[in-house]
Amino acid sequence: MLIRFVKNFLSGSGHRSGTPLCLMFHRIGELDDQLAPLHPLDAVTEETFRSVIREVAENWCPLSISDLTERLRSGRTIPKRAVVITFDDGFADNLTVALPILEDFCVPATVYVTTGFIDRSIDPFQYDLASLVCASTEIEFGWAGQRRRWHLNSAVARTECYTEIYRHLKSSTATVRTAAMSGLMNGVRNLPDHRVRYLTWEQLQELAASPLITIGGHTHSHLVLDAVNRDEMAADIERGRQLLQSRLRVAVRHFSYPYGHHDRTVRRTVSNLGFQCAMETDRNRNRQPSDLFQIPRVSVTNETAFTILGPTEEACVGALRPTSSIKWESTDATDR
């Protein structure tokens, strides 16, 4: 039944021949039960991923990012049912879970890496914040002269608190994020170390050594590039690329925008720094790339796959649940 879902998704009505379908993944694995309500889009299961890749191998034309870029650049034909597989951020399961599946079906993929996650100089604040919210009875947060306090006695309160703080921190500089998270986590003990979710340099080297894998840039600090100072934006993109090139000894020519955010200045900066193309995100899987620095991708998660599939298929895909069906393990997760 899962295969049926994947076929429906991939062969989705209206997908025109010659329009490359670029798929975006992050983690491949199980959602963390406790964090899932706050991170419903975080991962697709190994089962779903294998089914997608099997379908791609059997009924689509998988392209590497270099092949796609070259075809777009030269005006050569994009094959019918062309598909490009990509991952963002640099999660360890891209090596341990995804790569063996890609190898089984000989499907190429690009991994866009945020180098600060790899060298552990940038904390994954979204996971830290989620753990903090789950482990706290109340949180107080100050922003732009205002302070708010949340009593975290319900799933709704936890989601609201998380969403509000996440929204502020997402668009901040790395320095502001770090300072804010240090203040919030001051005195809090025994939270999980989410940095282990990401590849180490050794693992990234192993991943990059696969002939199926292309490594692309995804900044050093995972900033919202059109929200920060222009100099900081350019420096962060270049720092990530330089680190990848020096540690992996590969040319890094492809880029994806963190959170999919960009504007004209960001695009020009990425181009001027020597990247050949850049990927954004778009829910419209039938949109043609408008240029090499605005190649649309569709996010594939259990959540979005289900939305694309539509509610009538719900009974067919037991492994896939819409967000609303993910319940908190306990009505009061703050007792831990």
Give the residues lining the site for Zn ion (CB under 5 A).
Answer: 88-89, 258
Burial class from Cβ neighbours inside 10 Å (0-12, 13-18, 19+) for residue 145 reads exposed
Cα–Cα distance, 168 to 90 (Å, whole number): 24
Cβ pair 40, 31 in contact under 8 A: yes
How far apart are the C-alpha atoms of 18 and 102, rounded to whole Å?
23
Task: List beta partners, residue 43.
Answer: 27
- Residue 94 structure tokens: 């891209």
Give the residue with the Cβ less far from Zn ion, 6 or 298.
Answer: 298
* Cβ at position 307, least distance to Zn ion in Å: 20
Which residue of the chain is nearest Zn ion when measured via CB? 88
Decide whether 60 or 125 has the Cβ nearer to Zn ion. Answer: 125
Exposed, middle or buried, 207 (CB in 10 Å: 0-12/13-18/19+)?
buried
Is 67 or 280 the residue whose CB approaches Zn ion more closely? 280
Q: CA-to-CA distance for 163 and 158, rounded, in angstroms?
A: 8
Decide: residue 57, CB within 10 A, 0-12 exposed, 13-18 middle, 19+ buried. Answer: middle
For Zn ion, give the closer residue by CB, 42 or 55: 42
Shortest separation between residue 227's beta carbon and Zn ion, angstroms: 14
Q: Which residues of 9-22 are buried (b: 16+ CB within 10 A; e: fewer)?
A: bbeeeeeeeebbbb
C-beta of 88: minimal distance to Zn ion in Å? 4
- The Cα 139–Cα 133 span in angstroms is 8
Place of tokens 């690009």: 110
The CB density around residue 142, as the number of other CB atoms within 10 Å, is: 12
Report, in Å, the least distance between residue 86 CB and Zn ion. Answer: 11
Contact call for residues 19 and 78 (beta carbons, < 8 A): yes
Three-state secondary-structure class, residue 293: coil
Minimum distance, C-beta of residue 89 to Zn ion, in the bound complex (Å) = 4
Nearest-approach distance from CB 104 to Zn ion, in angstroms: 26
CB of 135 to Zn ion, least distance (A): 25
Q: Name the minimum Å distance from CB 146 to Zn ion.
A: 28
Measured from the Cβ of residue 144, the count of other Cβ atoms closer than 10 Å reads 5
Helices (H), the chain: 2-10, 46-59, 65-74, 93, 99-105, 115-118, 125-135, 155-170, 174-185, 201-208, 230-248, 264-272, 302-309
Nearer residue to Zn ion within complex by CB, 216 or 258: 258
Nearer to Zn ion, 81 or 197 (CB): 197
Q: Which residue lies nearer to Zn ion by CB, 152 or 243?
A: 243
CB-nearer residue toward Zn ion: 15 or 261: 261
Q: Is the CB of 135 or the CB of 237 nearer to Zn ion? A: 237
The least CB distance from residue 258 to Zn ion, in Å, is 5
